Structure 1
Amino acid sequence: MQNKGPVSEYILKHYKHFNAAALVDAAKGYEKHLAEGKKMLISLAGAMSTAELGISLAEIIRQDKVQIISCTGANLEEDIMNLVSHSHYKRVPNYRDLTPQDEWDLLEKGLNRVTDTCIPEEEAFRRLQKHIFKIWKDAEENGERFFPHEFMYKMLLSGVLEEYYEIDPKNSWMLAAAKKNLPMVVPGWEDSTMGNIFASYCLKGELNPSTMKSGIEYMTFLADWYTEQAEDKGIGFFQIGGGIAGDFPICVVPMLYQDMEREDTPFWSYFCQISDSTTSYGSYSGAVPNEKITWGKLDINTPKYIVESDATIVAPLIFAYLLNW
């Protein structure tokens, strides 16, 4: 193990019990998993891109400490929005005190609130829209079809956004992923802002829905990728939050094992979930890892960790440990 930096040393010294200890155990388990030559999937739910997780996640990508990402459409686009319009974001530290009228005033100013941070409509959504529409349209006219993240990669790698950069580009995880052509799945992309915009062009007859590859195609891609990459070792699963970003990719193992009847498919070989969701009333996000054994996702012996805490605090600390910061 390489020498650890001051952040890592701090958590090793102070994080001894409860969720703090679970954080350290999960970080050590992740490190051991990679040291054994196994690959890792990271899933991103919530608003982690707007929380600027890219500051640490981009370096995780550059150092090959993740081999595939599953994320919501919001996380896919919001990292790029932060890249090109950061100075126009507005922090609202007193968001708990806002009245309905205060919220309406933000709407009229084109400020879409995510907890304590407002994303600027004009500088973020519309700035991307004109560029991504051209890429969508060009593909359609050429008879080409791509996944949502592939269109985003094309836009980033084309350089058309560089004039707008407002943060250090090394802190954009999407730019790091595009440069590596990192495999990705984006389930439910349609409910993102760019997904809504794409649908609006389809409604207006300017684009065809088939130009965008579908969620089923994402699943079949993931099935092939898992089959090729897992070998007999399995892939690790590092889940930030819950929801579709985690539920969609984790299901590929029981699909291969049960529905495809490939009984030699290895289970996910590491599992960690960071979530503050409580375990109750059928909650997927709050389900303890052992429940996943019954669904054929995890093995009895799969290392399992759950850190019941705020992912905006926990994930950067685990990433710092992996990066020896």
Structure 2
Amino acid sequence: MSEITKFIKHHYRHFNAAALVDAAQGYVDHLNNGGKMFVTIAGAMSTAELGLSLAEMIRQDKIHGICCTGANLEEDVFNLVAHDFYERVPHYRDLTPADEAGLLSRHMNRVTDTCIPEMEAMRRIENEVLQEWVRADQAGERYFPHEFMYKILLSGQLEKSYQIDPKNSWLLAAAQKNLPMFVPGWEDATLGNMYAGHCISGDVKKVHTVRTGIEYMMELAEWYTNLTKDSSLGFFQIGGGIAGDFPICVVPMLHQDLQREHVPLWGYFCQISDSTTSYGSYSGAVPNEKITWGKLGEKTPKFIVESDASIVAPLIFAYVLGW
């Protein structure tokens, strides 16, 4: 047993700590029983540098598909090429509106305690991906948002600009594996906004050059149907929102709308959430509520760890990796 796992098992005995252990062991058991795992990533986990552990999970085949927000898709690459220009603001709770305006004037976009530099990160990647958008548009080709990012990373054109060890980029690891990925609601991300602007300005003539939501669901439906013919697929959810709700809905859609009666339910479920249980909240709903929607079964292993994902996810990944 690794040192981290020993520490966790010895000290994490009750409450959310015990839930973390149960969820991590459940993840290991699911894989050991021949299952696959689907991970969903909400929040700003890429800016939190989750790639330090997530990339190795991908390389070691502990993750078999990902659904993430557009922000997490792009922010891993922003960090890859502009890490040295980021600024940490540990006293962010004390910032005044004038302090925030000062950050804006310097083109530093704050995410909690971390400021993303617009010019070195966002505009840098915009220039690269715009060339791919225009090339595809002119060729009459269409790709999903993650496919454009895969193309850029695998081309090697950014390598000279790397400012972190590339082994810590989870998106690069995913690209190298050609990992199945789904990015619902990409339009509200920085690059999605930029793409809309380039469509309006006429740089991109055909708005559907970038494939999005409904087509992602169609791809997910076929991928889920085919994969679960031979393997149970688990669902590991980091945060809430569209990154989690979009893909988990594929199962009731397959059953109720496509009448695919023999497609299994999700075989494991865990959510890391700091959203308190509340009325009408998806992010704060307890796992059993999902039984009523045809997403999980009565006997599906279910876990919820009510804590900060930037603390919990690396610990669970370390446990699964045997660190």
Q: TM-score surpassing 0.5?
A: yes
Pair 1:97-2:94 in alignment: yes
Find out whether 1:115 has 2:130 as its counterpart: no
Residue correspondence of structure 1 range 175-254 to structure 2 within 5 A:
175-207=172-204, 208-231=206-229, 233-254=231-252
Q: TM-score, normalised by structure 1?
A: 0.98
- Measure the CA separation in 2 of the matches of 1:142 and 1:111: 36
Aligned to 2:69: 72
Looking at structure 2, the residues matched to 265 and 258 of structure 1 have their Cα atoms a distance apart, in angstroms, of: 11
Letter in 1 for 2:155: S
Partner of 2:143: 146
Letter in 2 for 1:106: L
TM-score (norm 2): 0.99
Determine which of 262, 270, 273 is the counterpart of 1:272.
270
- Rounded to whole Å, the distance in 1 between the matches of 2:176 and 2:233 is 23
Aligned positions of 1:30-109 closer than 5 A: 30-109=27-106
One-letter amino acid of the structure 2 residue matched with residue 49 of structure 1: S
Superposed CA deviations along residues 55-97 of structure 1, whole A, max 9, x for unmatched, are: 0000000000010000000000000000000010000000000
Tell me which residue corresponds to 2:289.
291
Instruction: Give the 5 Å matches for 1:282-321.
Output: 282-321=280-319
Q: Quick check: 1:237–1:268 contact (8 Å CA) kept in 2? A: yes
Gaps of 5+ in 2: none
Question: Hey, what's the Cα distance between the residues in 1 that align with 2:149 and 2:231?
Answer: 31
Identity %: 68
Unaligned stretches of 5+ residues in structure 1: none
Aligned equivalents of 2:44, 2:108: Cα separation in 1 = 16
Whether the aligned pair in 1 keeps the contact of 2:185 and 2:242 (CA below 8 Å) is yes
Letter in 2 for 1:314: V
CA contact (8 A) 1:232 1:265 kept: no
Residue identity matched to 2:3: P
Cross-structure match for 1:157: 154
RMSD, aligned CA: 0.7
Following the alignment from structure 1 to structure 2, what is the Cα–Cα distance between the partners of residues 150 and 130? 16
Contact preservation (8 Å) 1:232, 1:266 = no
